[in-house]
Structure 1
Amino acid sequence: MKKRKFGRWLLSFFAVFMILGSLIGSPVSAAENNRLPYSIIPVFPENQDKDVSQYISITSKNGVNQQISFQLANNTKAKQQVNMKILNAYTSPNGIIQYETKKTEDAMIIAKEYEMKKYAKIPKSITLNAGQVKTVKVDIDIPKIKGSVLGGIAFQITEKDSQESNKKGVTFSLKNKINTIYGIAVHSSKNHKAKFSFGDVFVDPMATYYAVRLPITLHSPLIIHNANINYKVSHKGKKLFFAKKSMKFAPMTKTNFSIPFDYKEIKQGEIYTLKGELTYTDSSGKEHIQKFEKDFKYEKDGTTNNIKNMLKAPFDNSHSWIIYILLLFLLLLILFYLRKKKENEAEKAVELAEETLLNKDYEIAQLLVNKLSKRSKQREILQIRLNAVREAIQNNQIDSEPQN
């Protein structure tokens, strides 16, 4: 009875974790297609930039009006519906380029003419029969425009998986959304100097820590892959913490860059200073530096007690520390469950061999016992019992041999 309850509890926990993972999971990159139930191959156009092979990249001084194709293949034996949508490119508060359908409070495009959704069209979905391959065409019509327009195309399926445990009456169904995103960049020119501005810093209380938000706006239509930000936070002349982080920027975007308040406490109403510099390298290899210095303070209604900072790591919307702990806990549970399962199977096989005293049952039991960990005490006990079974079988064979 206890084993049945444990199995049901484990399966329930696993189901909840998988559902949670499907809600917060990050997009799957194109390099992982070989593990997906479908595969996508971009058909690079004739005017594809020769030095780019990871995504669609076209440079044209007169704009672009053409079709881009993708080959979709169903790698399963069941019918699949692949949903598709156009995405804009934003600069994430964590300093990376992310592809989304719309802006957020902390990530936005400052000029609508740099939204890819405005220029690209794609069918909402496509149905693939088992093993079928189809070509999907994307219409792109971008007029002559300064700099670069960046976006992406998301291919998504909802994978249903029904599973049944070894125990009677325990079933569950999982729905896992799988995303594959391909980037699309159209350039009229890449030779521009980037211009940044920095807004007023504010404190953003999160669930378990405090984020210092530095608004950074890129006023240039450039894709920047090689920026770095160095910063330090001080209080009354004392340096509290500092860090350096690499950043990427999508064209004409604003982000509220997230800096974890990496100190033991933050005092309400008192002034702190965020000081640093942002460096990037332009297309000619020249390094540019823009400095910033901003004062900020944390104010909250109610008491003015000092607030303890419980977490010093940056918050990530897609992979928070809670998920990593749950994943580790789940992994340990699965390993424990599998070990117990192997031990139970080996023990039952030994019991059967003890009852029948047949070579066939003995060999099966020995095989299962050998699969147990060599450091397992259970293996040692079962091996002793198997040795006794082997001796009994040998004695029976001797007794049954005809006497001359």
Structure 2
Amino acid sequence: MSFFKKISVLFVSVLFFSATVAGLMSKSASAAELNFSVTSVLPDNQIDKKQSYFDLKMKPGQEQTVYVMLDNATDKKVTVMVSANEAKTNINGTTQYDKNKIERDSTLNYSLEDIVTVKNKVVIPPKKKVKLPVHLKMPDKEVKGIILGGLSFQQKESELDQAEKDSAKENGMSIKNRFSYNLAMSLKMTDDQVEPELVLNKVEAQSINARTVITANIQNTQPMLMNQLEVNAFITKKGESEKLFKKNMKEMQMAPNSNFNYQIPLNGEQLEAGTYTADVTAKSMGETWHWKKDFTISSDEAKQLNKADVDAKDDSINWTMWILIAVGIIIVLLLLLILVRQNKNKRRS
């Protein structure tokens, strides 16, 4: 077989293999999608009736039960795990309604988790619907702003594991996916306006996902959503004007009474010990906040972060490498010298 024929056969084989794997992956992914649907039953005190999430106007001390319809369209029973969660802001500047490990903010006085009572497990028979009651008990004291959170629904882990085993037997391949449905819930008592306020807390260097970043902790101290948030930040050496690291992000959103670490990447640059200044500007809700905060990186901290950073560019001289290269060059020169002498001796003889 000629060289070009071998290349053609190899190319067709790779295409066939890629198409086969793609087909199996699409089957596994579709099998792993949600096996149930979630629909809110909106009550009379729904503020915005065009929304599908709960947006309720309530009174101090009021108790109310709202309902969520869970629909199982499959031929097998579906066990759904349910949780009520307070809204938080993740590191990407997005409001998160699911169950997570983000710490509760110090300014949050009333959490949806303390207001909602709901079953943590619901079994939906095959081809059936279940009307799930969600009980609300508002604080006795009048609260300004909104109490925001969500209801999270996810199929029981053991049922998903079994479905994946069945899929692996059928397709010869299994992909582990986990999907959840999050239904937002916003509660408020008054229409009084809340003045927006953002605060810059600690600025420091951290290692996140094996990469060094400067984090500026921004906090929303008020019970209101901060929409269309834009943050522009840059880092300089203290007393200098050169922008060493910078980042600008738009269209973020912060949950009420929450905080998040705005990340400024180093993009592989080495972090030096010293004192730096973070210059941060935030814009949202027609307001602008501007902060400057100094922070110090110790020598040990810089070494540890640079060592852990997989993208860090090492600008130091690698003496070991240069010594090995020099030794190699010397050996080659010696060998050439020996060969030249041997050649001369042969000619003389």
- The answer to whether TM tops 0.5 is yes
How many angstroms apart in 2 are the aligned matches of 1:174 and 1:73? 25
Which residue number in structure 1 is paired with residue 218 of structure 2?
A: 216
Q: Which amino acid aligns with 1:188?
A: M
**Counterparts of residues 127-276 of structure 1 (less than 5 Å):** 127-143=123-139, 144-157=142-155, 158=157, 159=160, 160-161=163-164, 162-164=166-168, 176-189=177-190, 191-235=193-237, 236-246=240-250, 247-262=252-267, 264-267=269-272, 269-276=273-280
Q: Which structure carries more relative contact order (alpha carbon 8 Å, separation 6+)?
A: 2
Change (3 A) 1:257 1:131: same
Q: In the alignment, is the contact (CA less than 8 A) between 1:232 and 1:239 conserved in 2?
A: yes
The count of residues paired between Structure 1 and Structure 2 equals: 277
Q: 1:176 offset after TM fit, Å?
A: 4.2
Report the aligned-residue RMSD: 3.2
Change (3 A) 1:131 1:188: same
Q: What is the Cα deviation at residue 172 of structure 1?
A: 6.5
Once the two structures are superposed, the pairs formed by residues 388-399 of structure 1 within 5 Å of their partners are none
Which residue of structure 2 lines up, in the alignment, with residue 118 of structure 1?
114
Q: How far 1:252 sits from its partner (Å)?
A: 1.4
Residue 45 of structure 1: which of 35, 43, 46 is its match? 43
Q: Structure 2 CA distance, aligned partners of 1:75 and 1:296?
A: 56
Distance 1:126 1:53, change over 3 A: same
TM-score normalised by structure 2 residue count? 0.69
8 Å contact kept, 1:43–1:71: yes
Taking a change above 3 Å as real, the CA distance of residues 272 and 112 of structure 1, as seen in their structure-2 partners, is closer
Change in CA separation of 1:118 and 1:110 when aligned onto 2, cut-off 3 Å:
same
CA distance in 2, matches of 1:306, 1:120: 43
Following the alignment from structure 2 to structure 1, what is the Cα–Cα distance between the partners of residues 109 and 79? 32
Q: Deviations over 1:34-56 (max 9, x none)?
A: x6311111111111112651421
Once residues 89 and 291 of structure 1 are traced to their aligned partners in structure 2, the CA distance between those partners, rounded to angstroms, is 26
Select between 64-73 and 130-139 the one with higher mean Cα deviation.
64-73
Question: In the alignment, which residue of structure 2 is the partner of 1:331?
Answer: none
Partner residue, 1:289 = 288
Q: Is the 8 A contact 2:226 2:253 kept in 1?
A: yes
**Distance in 2 (alpha carbons) for counterparts of 1:179 and 1:120:** 19
Contact kept? 2:233, 2:278, Cα under 8 Å = yes
Percent of aligned positions with the same letter in both sequences? 20
Query: Structure 2 counterpart of 1:55, which letter?
Result: Y
Q: How far does residue 66 in structure 1 lie from its aligned partner after superposition?
A: 0.9
Cα displacement (A) at 1:148: 0.9
Encode CA deviations 1:208-249: one digit per residue, 9 max, x unaligned.
311211122222111222221111222332112333213211
Find the aligned partners of 1:205 and 1:219 in 2 and give their Cα distance: 26
Contact residue 153 and residue 184 of structure 1 kept, 8 A = yes
Q: Residue in 2 aligned with 1:87? A: 85
Question: What letter is aligned with 2:132?
Answer: V
Deviation, 1:163, is 3.1
Q: Which 5+ residue runs of structure 2 have no aligned equivalent?
A: 1-12, 313-349
Cα distance in 2 for partners of 1:288, 1:215 equals 18
Report the more deviating stretch, 135-144 or 269-278. Answer: 269-278
The SS at the match of 1:108 is coil
- Contact preservation (8 Å) 2:80, 2:153: yes
Q: Which amino acid letter does the alignment assign opposite residue 139 of structure 1?
A: H
Shift in Å at residue 82 of structure 1?
Answer: 1.0
Amino acid at match of 1:250: A
The residue aligned with 1:56 is: 54
Q: Map 1:249-398 to 2 at 5 A.
A: 249-262=254-267, 264-267=269-272, 269-281=273-285, 287-299=286-298, 301=300, 307=306, 310-311=310-311
Kindly tell me: are residues 48 and 300 of structure 1, through their superposed partners in 2, closer, same or farther at Cα, counting changes over 3 Å?
A: farther
Cα shift at 1:164: 4.7
Give the Cα separation in 1 of the matches to 2:236 and 2:223: 34
1:69 to 24, 49, 67: 67
Conserved? CA contact 1:79–1:129, under 8 Å: yes
Q: What does the per-residue CA deviation read over 1:155-212, in whole Å, with 9 as the maximum and x for residues that have no partner?
A: 110322223568xxx9676664331110101022451111222112111123431121
